[in-house]
Amino acid sequence: MTLRLSAEEDRALTLLAAAQGRSKHDAAVRAIVAAAARSLLDSEVHHLAYELLADYRETQQAITQAKAKHRP
């Protein structure tokens, strides 16, 4: 697959990758998975996000713990 980006989109991806200390490929993959996990009710996407994105995993764990504390 080829991802065609405008100059502005490529610059945004370059900046994102630099901020994350990752390659542009890795930054793009992480951004896609993060967006899909936020937007879709799909267990495979959420599992992928949980495995790939530490911040997603930490957020999910915090939500689970908060729910457990508030159960009657």
- Sorted by where each begins, the domain ranges of the chain are 7-69
pLDDT of 21-36, one tens digit each? 999 999 999 999 989 9
- Please list the helix, strand and coil fractions of the chain in percent, rounded to the nearest 5, in that order: 80, 0, 20
Prediction pTM value: 0.67
pLDDT of 8-66, one tens digit each? 999 999 999 999 999 999 999 999 998 998 888 888 988 888 888 887 777 778 778 88
